[in-house]
Amino acid sequence: MKRQLTYEDMKNIVGQINQRNYDYDEPFLNVVDEILDNSEGKHVQTVLNESFEKLLSQVNTEIEQVEKEMELSSLCRVGCAHCCYFPIIVTRLEVKLMLFYINQLPKDRKQVIKNQVEEYLHQHEATLSDMKKLDFEKDQNFKRKYKEFHLPCIFLNRETNKCMAYEVRPIPCRTYVNYVDADVCANELLPKEPISYEFLHRFYVEGMDEVIQEILEVVEDKEIGFSYPDDAADVNYLPLLLQEELQTTNVDWD
């Protein structure tokens, strides 16, 4: 039976990951090349949706490759949703891309997500108002304060503890992984044991930029519902940006 890793074990492994001699650019650029090579005849919105999903998925593939090399086995399991109460900070562009993706889902699934989002924004209106005062750029304790809200992710199905937008869940949701002790996530507000693969975010962003630049040679950004690069520079908590987008844009939920 494989021994359970300790926090000190993980510190050593993180050091090895940081020193890993690996070209992270190449696999993401390969995904971009594949998408663009197969984009002829497709609507630009379809190309955007495919790019968003596939580049996010590549983040998972890279994590799996690291786990294989380092002989790591995640203790995160379906139905474990402790990290779904952490702050998820994204760009306005990512929120718009999530909405684009959700809007092309089958009608029944889209309706379930619509109901969840609308109920959430109504139910947690006061907490979301308090969240606006929590400055993640200046307040070093913002994560602890956010966790004290005990506010679930807007896309978390509380009955199943599963993500309702799993295919396009943001980078923070994909890169926070526990290999040490599953109990710490349940017992501690901010456990130190899990590690983050947040460094992969840059390669996903660069891949999306390549695709968007190609698209903008064909159409104007506003024709497909966003402003680039302004929306990519507008950063905030996921539910706040989602709330703003639903209030200010005509999202076709039907």
- When pLDDT is averaged across residues 14-19 and rounded to a whole number, the result is 96
Domain assignment present for residue 253? The answer is: no
DSSP strand pairing (176-177 vs 195-196): antiparallel
Amino acid at 167: E
* Mean pLDDT of the residues in the chain: 94
pTM greater than 0.75 (yes/no): yes
Is the pLDDT at 213 greater than 70? The verdict is yes
Is the pLDDT at 205 greater than 50? The verdict is yes
- Give the integer Cα–Cα distance in Å for 179 and 73: 6
Cβ atoms within 10 Å, residue 176? 17
Supply the range of the domain harboring residue 100: 7-248
pLDDT value of residue 209:
97
Is the pLDDT at 200 greater than 90? The verdict is yes
Domain assignment present for residue 130? The answer is: yes
Domain assignment present for residue 164? The answer is: yes
Domain assignment present for residue 58? The answer is: yes
Q: What confidence category does residue 44 fall into, taking pLDDT thresholds of 50, 70 and 90?
A: very high
Domain assignment present for residue 2? The answer is: no
Is the pLDDT at 2 greater than 90? The verdict is no
Rounded to 5 degrees, φ, ψ at 11 are -60, -40
Domain assignment present for residue 114? The answer is: yes
How many structural domains are present in the chain?
1
pLDDT value of residue 1:
46
Is the pLDDT at 253 greater than 90? The verdict is no
- When pLDDT is averaged across residues 102-125 and rounded to a whole number, the result is 95
Q: pLDDT tens across 75-97, in order?
A: 888 788 999 999 999 999 999 99
